[in-house]
Amino acid sequence: MRAAWMATVFGLDWPEGKYTVDAQKKHYTDYLDKFKELNMNAVFVQVKGMGDAFYSSPYEPWSAAITGARGTDPSYDVLKFMIDEAHARGMEFHAWMNPYRIATRAGTSTSYPALHSSVKPEWVVSHEKIQIYNPAVPEVRQRLADIVKDVITKYNVDGIHFDDYFYPDPSSAGQMVADDADYQKYGAGYSSKEDFRRGNVDQAIKGVHDVIVATKPEVVFSISPAPDPDYNFKTLFADVKKWCEQGWLDVVIPQLYQEIGNASNDFQARLNWWSQYNYKATLMVGHGYYKFGDGTSPSAFQSTTELGKQFDMTRKNKKVVGNLLYSAKYIPLNKIGITTKLAELFKSPSVIPFLGRNVAAAPAEAASVRIEGSTLKWSTTGNVRSVVYYFADLTKEAVVVAITDKNELSITSAGNYSVSTINVDNQESKPSNTVKKN
């Protein structure tokens, strides 16, 4: 997988303060066109970032980022548009949600926005600088599962994605509201408040996994945790290792945003840890793309060499099957030529691996693979796309030439070709025997 995160909180990547429908649509499709040009094959768009929605939701108001005013209908189906445009380019669309956050503020002198009419005040905790759904409340866990069910039922998303916010980090939340009463009310069976908090988040994650499997099992469930497992476990009360071990996650995408050799979060050391403890979850890596060319970032990010080294490490690690970039708006900027470097790294197309549960029929192998003149031809059966591989030399690894809905491809390079098929779940058939162009 090759993807970018598209942040919408405060309009960060999209729509960046553009409040007309035409301007928003063009801004989004410009991103996708650039991603497609770079042979990227997925986009992770934030559709629930602040207890709000980028679609018509019975649970949360329209996001203020779309029209400038929270709760205002933008007069078009934003999420359907985004999904359709991604799929039209052969790209996957993963709906990125923040599970608990409702609002943030600088301090108590500012009021939080009014809660959606469907939200009971007793479900919410208003800390000094962040307002969240209370992870301890069973109705909150059910609500989160219901929100996910609503999205996957109404929209053809390829995945549901959570970021790294669970219980708030006290260093950024300001004065915290104590949860002693929650522990007293709901904590039976837990030996400590810390275990109780982790148990609350565990139940929420399992609940989302279970509702996906029961409702639309082909949807992939992924989470992008912070890089430090101790920070996740002890500060955010997110036992990500357990979620991977239990099979509640299909994909884990640690945010390895620091450079190789970083004193506290060394890219290589964290990569090694996550590749040991991903268990049943497929492993991908998140890269801090926004740091390249940023004068406040370490010296490693002032050169494109760092990205090349990071990608080299992930490609040599057999566990890693995807690279995600944070975030979308930095890709067109091409600071210090980083996107030129990305184009080199993504020179050939790439096949998204099979990630979740297999629902579609297994793909039948391509048949009658042959070369007629300067055209490679083959036949397929069923709802599949085809992957064309090219070997300049059969002793070396193949490169992907094309991923196509067609059953033929013009070829110019002498060498060996093979064709496989992939179904809608990204399950791939065996490759055909090679055919040679002289």
* Residues 387-408: tens digit of each pLDDT: 999 999 889 899 999 999 999 9
CATH code of the region 367-437 = 2.60.40.10
Distance (Å, rounded) from C-alpha 341 to C-alpha 301?
13
Residue 358: its pLDDT value, please? 87
- Contact between 151 and 77 under an 8 Å Cβ cutoff? The reply is no
Query: ∠ CA 262-6-312 to the nearest 5 degrees?
Result: 40
Mind listing the pLDDT tens digit of every residue in the chain (438 residues)? 999 999 999 999 999 999 999 999 999 999 999 999 999 999 999 999 999 999 999 999 999 999 999 999 999 999 999 999 999 999 999 999 999 999 999 999 999 999 999 999 999 999 999 999 999 999 999 999 999 999 999 999 999 999 999 999 999 999 999 999 999 999 999 999 999 999 999 999 999 999 999 999 999 999 999 999 999 999 999 999 999 999 999 999 999 999 999 999 999 999 999 999 999 999 999 999 999 999 999 999 999 999 999 999 999 999 999 999 999 999 999 999 999 999 999 999 999 999 988 899 999 999 999 999 999 999 999 999 999 999 998 898 999 999 999 999 999 999 999 999 999 999 999 999 999 999
The residue assigned the tokens 């040599």 is: 316
List the domain boundaries for the chain: 2-345, 367-437
What is the CATH architecture of 2-345? Alpha-Beta Barrel (3.20)
Helices (H), 155-225: 170-173, 180-186, 193-215
Helix (H) or strand (E) holding 240: helix 240-246
Q: Do the strands 42-48 and 92-97 form a parallel or antiparallel pair, or are they unpaired?
A: parallel
What does 314-330 look like in DSSP terms, one character per residue? Answer: HHHSTTEEEEEEE-TTH
